[in-house]
Each structure stands twice: as C-alpha cells, then as structure tokens.
C-alpha cells in the first residue's frame, strides 16, 4: 500500500467505478493475513479475494491459481489484513458530548448528568448527528460493525434519525432500540421497533430490542423480563440488556433462567459483580456477554473489574464495546489493551507470593473478543468477524511498516499493542471502500464539524 498519491487515486477510481456490481472482484495480495478463523489462522504472506460483497477466497498465492482476470489488484505487501472490529454496545447519540465529563466518578454521576439532565433536550436532528459522528469515528478506527444502544428514543422521529445516522455512513449497524430513562416521550417503544424493521431493514442494518437488567434506575417498563422477551421473539430479534451489575442483577439473571429468558440471542452488558450462581446460569444457557473494559474500570462500575475471567470460567468468550464517549475513548484498540493489561495484572496478583502459575489471556484472545466474538455477541457470527470464505468482506488493511509498527515480528501483537487509528490504511465494509489511504471517504469534515458543534451548543444551552 506504499504507493504514490497518483497511483492510489487511480486505484481508488477503479475500485469505485464498479462498486455496485455483484461480480466485481478485488484481490488484496501479499499481506500478513490474520484471519481470526480458527481453521485458517495466520498466513504470513497471503491473499484475500473479494467478489461483490463477500470473501470469495483466502490463500497464499491466489494469482497463481488463475484468479487475476477482471480483478482490481491491490498490493498490500507490508500490511496486515484483519477482520473489521465489532463494537457490541455504544450509546452513539451522545457523541457530540465527547469527553465532557472525563473524570466522572460513578454510574450515578453519569446518569444524573447525561440521562436526566441532557438527554431530554435532544431533538431528532441531534440524534442523527450524534449517531452519524459515532459511526464515522468507528469506521475511521477500524470498527466495521457497531451496535448502537439507542436509549433516547423519545419519538418515532428520534428513532428514525438514529437509524438514518447509521445508514448514511455505510457502517454495518445494529440498532438496539430502548425508551429513554427520564423525561417526556411518546410511549411508542417497544411497539415501534416493528415499524423500524419493516421500513429500514437492509443488508447493512439489523435490529435488536434493548432493555435494562432491573427497575432500579428507570422503573419496571425498561427492565428485561417476560414481556420484552416475548416482544423480541415475535419480532425475531435478539435482546441487549445494559446495566447488568451486582446483587440485584444476579437475582434477575437467576429469575430469567427460571423463566427460560436466557440464551445465545440475549446479551448481558458489563456483568460486573455478579454472583457465581448467576455466572453458572449464563454459562449453562449460552448467554452472550458484552464487556466494556474502560467503562467498568474508569467509571468504577460495581467491582470496577471487567468480568473476563468470570465469563471465560463458564465457557463464554465475550465481545468488547466502547459504551459512553462522554467519558471514554472511542476506539477498539483502547478496549483491547485495557482488557489485556487489567486481566494479566489481576491474574498475577491473584497468585502473588504462591507457587501457582497465573492464568493469563493473550493478544490473540483480545483480538478474538474484538472481532469474531463481537460478531457472535451481536448475532452476526455467520456474517462477519473473521476472514472466512462466504462471509461479508468487512476488512482492515493495517500498515505494519509505519514508524510505530516496524519491523513486523508478530502480526497479532502488532495489531493489538502497536497499532492505532493512524495505521489503518483501508477499511472495507461489505466489499465497499469506506476509508482509503488513511482517510474516510465521502465525508466533508468542515461541514460535519459545523453540524456537530451547532448540535452540541444547542444541547448544552437547553440542558437542565
């Protein structure tokens, strides 16, 4: 990918000239391929062929097998190919309030400031620009799939705006709809989710029902239970449950187990401070887990320790998520590194002064959580999350010879511990180029900056 600007522009023009053609072929050649497919592993020098929107072939030298005809060839020598990252939980509508409260001390501080004081003044236009900004930032940092836990659905128009914000970026979006915690709203949720599905479902957009673990924060209407589970089942969608913390949530988990409301189509977010019996129920039912490593540790949610060890102990490999940008970083590199460091620190500390060996996770584990397991958590394991023939071509080209990555010694270690957004040269979603030569495509940054600032200023001027 180390080409002249003119060569890059010419190559991009060829890529985009037939971008919508079902049989259009693109060959990425010469990279280290980190497939995250357990059957394929890492290819030190490999090729990936895209046909239309899917991965058609993966191998060491596809050109030698006659796959060059009528193909746009991109030389990715000196780069690493990985699946796109998968974010399993982000409150995207808050993006224009980024880092407005970087040192928030607890959940109550966030709830009081953002959900009680700020969320009620959001207009549909603010929902749109926040969601769009979050999705574009995700793409820029290599997140090709994002679950938007959209918990400010005050009206149908607010929901429409949030959905459109995903669609207009080209990200693989999952709109998880929930009513607001506080303030006036139209009481259209959860029934309105059926309309959203009918009106907006596309190859790049799926839906889930979102709820809370208990009635402690916002009352019983938002708490997951038989009624919400039945609604999700009728719609054929999964459920994402936020604020899964401590004793009350542990009791809720056990109640859901008795009621038959757990399973692979249910995701429990955070899951800090749960009891061993609650974890047993999660493992026994194959319920999925979305960790938010920086959120748990930085804000101090319940035990403040991301529950990776607890999940792994019951056979659940979790997905990772960003959570709230009002206080946290926006990218998956940060989540992987934070979890990697925290778990290894915890493992060593647990056996310090003994003869026991610490049980540590590695860089491959956290990359698995950020890709394949994230896709499984979002209900998209057959669609994305690994470089596997037949899956959608959601791919990253990571420059391995940049100053902060050279020389390439271990590809997975380089992605997890060495790389950041500046090293992501190219992003494909469903075979379409969304970032090229380190820059997002089709984004007027000056116009976006003006929209974001105007929205932020309106919100803060009217918030209580």
For residue 63, give both structure tokens.
């050109």
d(C-alpha 453, C-alpha 446), whole Å: 11
The model's confidence at residue 216, banded by pLDDT at 50, 70 and 90, is confident
With helix as H, strand as E and coil as C, how does 421-435 read?
Answer: HHHEEEEEECCEEEE
pLDDT at 155 over 90: yes
pLDDT at 424 over 90: yes
- Cα dihedral across residues 87, 425, 168, 134: positive or negative: positive
pLDDT at 262 over 90: yes
pLDDT at 287 over 70: yes
Q: What integer pLDDT is reported at residue 141 of this predicted model?
A: 98
d(C-alpha 34, C-alpha 42), whole Å: 5
> Average pLDDT of 427-442?
96
Q: Which residues contact 403 (CB under 8 A, 6 or more apart)?
A: none
pLDDT at 280 over 90: yes
pLDDT at 5 over 80: no
For residue 420, give both structure tokens.
């950041």
The mean of the pLDDT values for the chain is 95
Region for residue 51 given its phi and psi (left: phi exceeds 0; alpha: psi -120 to 50; beta: otherwise)? beta
CB 155, CB 128: distance < 8 Å:
no
Q: Facing residues of 72 across strands? A: 26
Distance set, CA 185 to CA 41, 122, 157, 298, 347 (Å)? 49, 11, 11, 31, 46
> Average pLDDT of 355-377?
97
Distance set, CA 361 to CA 13, 34, 342, 358 (Å)? 43, 18, 10, 10
Mean pLDDT check: name the lowest of 104-113, 204-213, 330-339, 450-459: 104-113
Q: What integer pLDDT is reported at residue 19 of this predicted model?
A: 72
CB 144, CB 86: distance < 8 Å:
yes
pLDDT at 243 over 90: yes
Domain boundaries, the chain: 5-83+383-439, 85-377
184-195 per-position pLDDT tens digit: 999 999 999 999
pLDDT at 20 over 80: no
Query: Based on the number of CB atoms within 10 Å of its own CB, is 438 exposed (0-12), middle (13-18) or buried (19 or more)?
Result: middle
Query: Based on the number of CB atoms within 10 Å of its own CB, is 446 exposed (0-12), middle (13-18) or buried (19 or more)?
Result: exposed
Domain 85-377 carries which CATH code? 3.20.20.140
Q: What integer pLDDT is reported at residue 23 of this predicted model?
A: 81
> Average pLDDT of 152-158?
97
Q: Which residues contact 94 (CB under 8 A, 6 or more apart)?
A: 114, 130, 134, 324, 325, 326
Q: Which residues contact 213 (CB under 8 A, 6 or more apart)?
A: 223, 224, 241, 242, 243, 244, 245, 248, 249, 252, 253, 268
> Average pLDDT of 373-385?
98
pLDDT at 422 over 70: yes
Question: What secondary structure does DSSP assign to 319-342, as a single string?
Answer: EE--B-TTTS--SHHHHHHHHHHH
Domains 5-83+383-439 and 85-377 share a fold: no
383-399 per-position pLDDT tens digit: 999 999 999 999 999 99
CB 289, CB 318: distance < 8 Å:
yes
d(C-alpha 368, C-alpha 121), whole Å: 39
Q: What integer pLDDT is reported at residue 247 of this predicted model?
A: 96
Q: What integer pLDDT is reported at residue 2 of this predicted model?
A: 65
Distance set, CA 434 to CA 90, 393, 410, 427, 440 (Å)? 20, 12, 27, 5, 6
DSSP code, position 410 = -
pLDDT at 345 over 80: yes
Q: Please state, for a pLDDT cut of 70, what percent of the chain lies above it.
A: 98
**pTM attached to this predicted model:** 0.97
Strand residues in 52-105 grouped as ranges (E) = 54-59, 71-75, 79-83, 85-90
**Cα 115 to chain center, whole Å?**
22
Does the 5-83+383-439 domain belong in CATH 2.30.40.10? yes
């Amino acid at each position: 990918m180390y080409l002249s600007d003119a060569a890059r522009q010419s190559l991009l023009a060829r890529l985009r000239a037939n971008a919508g053609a079902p049989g259009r072929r693109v060959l990425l050649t010469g990279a280290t391929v980190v497939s995250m497919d357990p059957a394929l592993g890492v290819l030190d020098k490999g090729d990936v062929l895209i046909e239309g929107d899917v991965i058609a072939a993966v191998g060491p030298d596809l050109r030698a097998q006659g796959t060059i005809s009528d193909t746009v060839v991109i030389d990715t020598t000196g780069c690493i190919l990985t699946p796109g990252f998968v974010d399993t939980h982000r409150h995207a509508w808050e993006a224009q309030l980024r880092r407005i409260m970087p040192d928030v001390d607890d959940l109550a501080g966030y709830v009081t400031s953002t959900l009680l004081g700020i969320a009620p003044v959001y207009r549909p236009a603010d929902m749109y620009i926040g969601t769009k900004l979050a999705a574009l930032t995700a793409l820029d940092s290599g997140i090709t799939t994002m679950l938007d836990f959209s918990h400010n659905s005050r009206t149908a128009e607010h929901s429409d705006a949030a959905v459109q914000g995903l669609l207009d970026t080209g990200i693989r979006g999952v709109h998880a709809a929930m009513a607001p915690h506080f303030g006036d709203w139209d009481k259209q949720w959860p029934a309105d989710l059926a309309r959203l599905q009918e009106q907006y479902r596309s190859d790049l957009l799926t839906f889930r029902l979102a709820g809370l673990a208990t009635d402690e924060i916002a009352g019983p209407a938002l708490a997951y239970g038989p009624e919400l589970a039945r609604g999700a089942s009728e719609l054929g969608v999964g459920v994402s449950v936020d604020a899964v913390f401590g004793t009350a949530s542990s009791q809720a988990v056990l109640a859901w187990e008795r009621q038959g409301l757990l399973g692979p189509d249910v995701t429990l977010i955070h899951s800090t401070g749960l009891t061993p019996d609650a974890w047993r129920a999660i493992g026994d039912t194959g319920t999925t887990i979305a960790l938010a490593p920086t959120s748990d540790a930085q804000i101090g949610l319940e035990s403040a320790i991301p529950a990776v060890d607890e999940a792994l102990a019951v056979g659940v490999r979790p997905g990772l998520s960003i959570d709230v940008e009002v206080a946290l970083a926006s990218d998956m590199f940060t989540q992987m590194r934070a979890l990697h460091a925290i778990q290894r620190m915890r493992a060593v500390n647990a056996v310090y002064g003994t003869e026991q060996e610490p049980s540590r996770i590695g860089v491959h584990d956290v990359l698995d959580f950020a890709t394949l397991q994230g896709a499984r958590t979002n209900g998209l394991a057959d669609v994305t999350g690994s470089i596997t023939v037949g899956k959608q071509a959601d791919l990253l080209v990571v420059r391995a010879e940049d100053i902060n990555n050279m020389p390439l010694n271990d590809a997975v270690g380089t992605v997890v511990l060495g790389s950041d957004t500046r090293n992501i040269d190219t992003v494909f979603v469903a075979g379409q180029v969304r970032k090229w030569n380190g820059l997002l495509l089709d984004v007027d940054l000056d116009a976006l900056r003006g929209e974001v600032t105007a929205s932020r200023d309106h919100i803060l001027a009217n918030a209580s």
